[in-house]
Chain A
Amino acid sequence: MEGFLAGLHGSPFHGPSVEFKEYRDYRPGDDPRHLDWRLYARSDRLCIRRFEQETNLRGYLLVDTSASMAYRGARARESKLECAKTVALAFGWALLRQNDAVGVLAQGPPEPGPRLDGRPPRREPRLLKPSQKPHQAGQLLRALADLEAVGGSLLPDLLARAFAAAARRSLLVVVSDFLEPAPAIQQALERARFDGHECLCLQVLDADELDFPFTGAHVFEDPETGERRRFVGEEARERYRERLERFLREYRDLWNRLQVRHVLIRTDEEPGAALARGLSSRR
């Protein structure tokens, strides 16, 4: 994890948003982006600018709490949301150990009762501001433990809130099943890149959603939209997988294009191992 994090934002003690500290002579192998060309022009000397981080990295753990995250298949170790919490907690813990500040952002449950204006009920965001203080680990744990999967599609709104919360360039770790259509969050991810945020997308999917092992006649209902479909498992499986693969491919294309890190985590795997494997394979 630390290796990954190191690769994600460079040396733990150096980062793009740091103040200039000193020069040193250029040595072969140094990142030529850090050559100070003005000094070379004045002194005919190749020197590397050394920076100091003003603070450590700020990370936001964005956990999707939409209703689809509550699903738990027959072969899953836990529900997608529980898996997401585990993964987010592990990541946040690693950031804290690196003296990075980490916080949590998630959508709360909807306000009870219907709105008179007919709009969807309000959801208050749950924000744990990034901090690197020692007690932040406990705060992180409590904040994640209180999350419940309820409500419709929340990911685009979650990302928008993250942009509002993150005043400076931050690491945005998005933990979700990403079952919304790719175009729905494409704009958000593009904005994140534009604002200079680093994004890491951890997609948590259930084994049933990936493998579609169902047989016989079923009636399924979408927990977020209430849509229902009737099918026979053996007959629908192939087509389902095709559509799923196409959907995942769209996301992969999006992430690749936006240079967003992405890891797919199955709920029938041990979350930490799945995360480590996914991160290390990306290096």
Chain B
Amino acid sequence: MVIAKPQWFVRRKYGGWGLMPKTWQGWIYSLIMIIIVLGLVNAPLDMKYKIVIILAAAIFFFIDIGSAMIRLKDEREKIHEAVAERNALWAVLLVLVIGISYQAAESAVKGNYSSMDWFLVAAVFVALVVKAVSNIWLDRKD
């Protein structure tokens, strides 16, 4: 079940990712989301239950907002979003590759690869897989 409607929001362009409220319904939704999260953080619950409930709430809002983002219909905004996200990804990949290259060179000099951050390597690999899967899906779609 999704609650957030795409017509309540506009795409956040200049300050990160996500949506900005556009209508009063969007502002009410955002306010309720904040109240719920703050309420859970300050709730007099056992920490292990609190973490689970906050995580569940965060996942719910992530899916709800994400669903609204996907359903935003403006084609020009979608194109701009795609280009901006592509540029951001290239910037991230560039920094990752520079970081991995530096760590690899440092490790080669030391003769010890245990200090490499393999999480960075995994991040680049995941990006490759996601791009390949996306292209396969797009080619089949149209």
Instruction: Tell me, yes or no, whether A binds B.
Output: no
